Amino acid sequence: MKLSIVIVNYNVKHFLGQCLNSVKRGIEHLDTEVFVVDNASSDGSCDMVREMFPWVTLIASPVNLGFSKGNNLAIEKASGQYVLLLNPDTVVAEDTFDKCIEFMDGNPDAGALGVRMIDGKGNFLPESKRGLPTPSVAFCKTFGLSKIFPKSKTFNRYHLGFLPEHETNEVEILSGAFMLMRKAALDKTGLLDETFFMYGEDIDLSYRIIKAGYKNFYFAGTTIIHYKGESTRKGSLNYVKVFYNAMIIFARKHFSGNQSGLFSLFINLAIFFRGFLTVLANLFSSSYLFIIDALLSFGGICLITRYWEDMIKYTDNYYPGQFMFIVVPTYILIWILSTFLNGGYDKPFRISNIFRGIFFGTLAIAAVYAFLPNEWRFSRAIIILGAIWTAAEMLITRTSYHLIKYQSLSIESSDDKKALLVGKEEECLRAEKLLLQAGAESEVVSFVNDQNNLPQLATVYDINEIIFCSRDLTFSQIINNISLCGNKIDYKILNPGSEAFVGSNSKNTAGDLYSVNHNLNLAKAANQRKKRLFDVISSLCFVVLLPVNLFIIKNFGGFVSNWLAVASGKKTWVGYAQSGTGNLPVIKTGVITTTTSYDGLQLDAGTLSKIDLLYARHYSVSDDVKLIWKNYRKLGV
């Protein structure tokens, strides 16, 4: 046996299917065995592998073993001269394995090899080649010096930025997303260290291979796609904690006392430092537009009131402080909240959503205004002028956003998908039909079978999405065209027999897909807002009913704890039955679930998955109302 390929999967069925399609083409002339270790996925991954890839050896674990232990299960069964650790969210070229094995055969001192990786937008992934994370290297990465001096041998040894990405070189650390190892080297070093649940195990294994007397190589002779579909998002606090704690484990294992202590000190500082930056970044990224709207709206209304005092009322300080610092901020809050609920903050931006939000917000203000005592009724004119100004500044901010990001003054057109389908007519027609069925907002501009001039066609047609039909193209052609066309375009791949378009628009996300099976109500931003609004309103109602709830709800202390979690946005009243939801829309953990009513029944994973899918597909607020009513006494459990 020449090659053993090991893939550990967790709830990425569509990406796994695409990966195996590419692997199948790459092993046609190789004596190869392929293992898929499934870590208790709930998205139908195992059924898909059994049905579509019967030549794969499937190891279905009933629990999530983590990356290291999952790989070890298969490695123990492997009989190949070479063992490849491969992520399920990768796409390999037809000649990737041949080229890598040829290099390893020609370099007997090579213990392991990694390749050039790009993300789903064609951007080079710097973790394709890395240096040993010594204390000084970790310090430079942690405090951003490696980003400030990306080509420096001194400051960017973590990603070896001084080594050209298109040049093969000896390196220290390889990525576990694609790590081809000589079985003899692996036998000498031992299996992956199961102390690492996620992150760090590839660093540890790479270093042990070097210590065993072998060399690690970054091989630039082939390129693969890695969608970065890890279960922990890089923009999350959990990622910061898990990743840097893995570095501490590595330091304690391989460095001497002083080095280990210094490294641990740097890493603990990094956790706090990067955690603080992550909180700030997440807070700003999620709320910057609200803050800008509030500040501009308030500033504009201040100028309006000043003009009204000077030119209309001819009275200084006509509007008292309570009006400017209590009433006006309340108006602004209502306008922003109404605009948010009407989709004015959803992308792509819609002018109609902004106007509708301001209109209904103004109606709400007018309704409250009519019931206020005379001393709080300051000026209806300011309400009207303030509404007009707030709508105007929202249009200005959105136009500025589009001008900066898209070099266009058109608010509503820049995010519209203009898609180019690449493949033969029959498969392109199938792709077009599936796009309609999936509800994808993509306008198909043209079909193209000859992909030699794709970059030029993308420019001529002003394309922002390319969909490749892999039945008619090689994966080598797809990977090459993604690299050529650049990162301004989104890419998807439609595989033979599949109804899902798989791709990724960001190196920090677990991927994007259009799927006929995932045209779900709960995926819509408006319904996500309605669900959150229902959680808030129902929480307020539960406060009013507190004396009654004291006698009705089991475990009242648990109910109070759940109430606080829902009110703060950490939980939702109704959640999925299973924690791993595959490709369903992400929602918070539920106080009750879609199957709480059936607690007495022993439902298998497949049934639970189908119930969750039906809930997401047909979601409406009335579903949550019914489930809460049925399980009211269990809200404290």
Looking up residue 504, the CATH number of its domain turns out to be 3.40.50.720
What is the 3-state composition of the chain as percent helix, strand, coil, each rounded to the nearest 5?
A: 50, 15, 35
Alpha helices in 350-497 (DSSP H): 351-369, 380-406, 425-438, 454-460, 475-485
Which residues, given as ranges, of the chain have pLDDT below 70? 142, 196-200, 229-286, 375, 406-416, 438-441, 505-519, 579-583
CB 112 within 8 A of CB 214: yes
State whether 368 and 403 are in the same domain.
Answer: yes
Residue type, 573: W
State whether 328 and 448 are in the same domain.
Answer: no
CB 514 within 8 A of CB 492: yes
* 487 falls within a domain: yes
Map residue 217 onto helix, strand or coil: strand
| Maximal C-alpha separation, the chain | 93
State whether 496 and 548 are in the same domain.
Answer: no
* Whole-angstrom distance, CA of residue 333 vs CA of residue 294: 8
Of 47, 50, 99, 41, which is closest to residue 70 (Cα–Cα)? 41
Q: What is residue 257's predicted lDDT score, i.e. its pLDDT?
A: 60
Residues 6+ apart with CB under 8 A from 485: 122, 454, 455, 458, 466, 491
Instruction: Give the position of tokens 């408006």.
Output: 526
| Strand 500-503 with 490-494, pairing | antiparallel
Alpha helices in 149-256 (DSSP H): 183-189, 201-211, 237-254
CA atoms within 13 A on the CB side of 69: 12
CB 161 within 8 A of CB 152: yes
State whether 202 and 298 are in the same domain.
Answer: no
DSSP string, 227-244: ----SS-TTSHHHHHHHH
Q: What is residue 308's DSSP assignment?
A: I
* 465 falls within a domain: yes
Joined tokens for residue 454: 């794709």
* Whole-angstrom distance, CA of residue 337 vs CA of residue 315: 33
* Whole-angstrom distance, CA of residue 327 vs CA of residue 330: 5
Alpha helices in 308-377 (DSSP H): 321-322, 328-341, 351-369
Residues 6+ apart with CB under 8 A from 615: 522, 576, 594, 623
Residues 6+ apart with CB under 8 A from 153: 162
Residue type, 187: D
Residues 6+ apart with CB under 8 A from 167: 220
Q: What is residue 611's predicted lDDT score, i.e. its pLDDT?
A: 87
State whether 113 and 37 are in the same domain.
Answer: yes
Q: What is residue 507's predicted lDDT score, i.e. its pLDDT?
A: 44
Q: What is residue 146's predicted lDDT score, i.e. its pLDDT?
A: 82
Looking at the DSSP bridge assignments, the partners of residue 493 are 468, 502
* 377 falls within a domain: yes
Looking up residue 41, the CATH number of its domain turns out to be 3.90.550.10
Q: What is residue 136's predicted lDDT score, i.e. its pLDDT?
A: 75
* Whole-angstrom distance, CA of residue 123 vs CA of residue 126: 9
Range of the domain at 463: 417-515
CB 525 within 8 A of CB 343: yes
State whether 421 and 409 are in the same domain.
Answer: no
Q: What is residue 130's DSSP assignment?
A: B
Residue type, 336: I
Q: What is residue 491's predicted lDDT score, i.e. its pLDDT?
A: 93
Burial 482-501 (b: 16+ CB within 10 A, else e): bbebebebbbbbbbeebbbb
Joined tokens for residue 32: 């190869």
* 209 falls within a domain: yes
* Whole-angstrom distance, CA of residue 240 vs CA of residue 231: 13
Q: What is residue 509's predicted lDDT score, i.e. its pLDDT?
A: 44
* 547 falls within a domain: yes
CB 309 within 8 A of CB 315: yes
Burial class of residue 613, CB neighbours in 10 A (0-12, 13-18, 19+): buried
C-alpha torsion angle, residues 555, 556, 559, 561 (rounded to 10) = -100
* 79 falls within a domain: yes
CB 76 within 8 A of CB 187: no
Q: How far apart are the first and last CA of the chain?
A: 54
State whether 485 and 627 are in the same domain.
Answer: no
Q: What is residue 323's predicted lDDT score, i.e. its pLDDT?
A: 83
Q: What is residue 245's predicted lDDT score, i.e. its pLDDT?
A: 63
Answer with the one of 515, 532, 562 that is the final residue of a domain.
515
Q: How many domains does the chain contain in total?
A: 4
* 150 falls within a domain: no
Of 84, 86, 35, which is closest to residue 61 (Cα–Cα)? 35
Map residue 494 onto helix, strand or coil: strand
Of 192, 203, 196, which is closest to residue 141 (Cα–Cα)? 203
State whether 174 and 300 are in the same domain.
Answer: no
Residue type, 174: L
Of 158, 194, 188, 189, which is closest to residue 175 (Cα–Cα)? 158
Answer with the one of 230, 258, 284 that is the final residue of a domain.
230
Strand order in the sheet with 465-469: 442-448, 417-422, 465-469, 490-494, 500-503, 512-515
Residues 6+ apart with CB under 8 A from 33: 1, 3, 4, 5, 57, 78, 79, 80
* 153 falls within a domain: no
Answer with the one of 495, 515, 535 that is the final residue of a domain.
515
Q: What is residue 512's predicted lDDT score, i.e. its pLDDT?
A: 55
State whether 88 and 110 are in the same domain.
Answer: yes
State whether 529 and 459 are in the same domain.
Answer: no
* C-alpha to C-alpha distances, 282 to 121, 231, 473, 489, 523, nearest whole angstrom: 22, 18, 39, 25, 21
Cis amide prior to 348 (ω within 30 degrees):
yes
Joined tokens for residue 385: 């002028």
CB 390 within 8 A of CB 419: no
State whether 441 and 409 are in the same domain.
Answer: no
State whether 309 and 326 are in the same domain.
Answer: yes
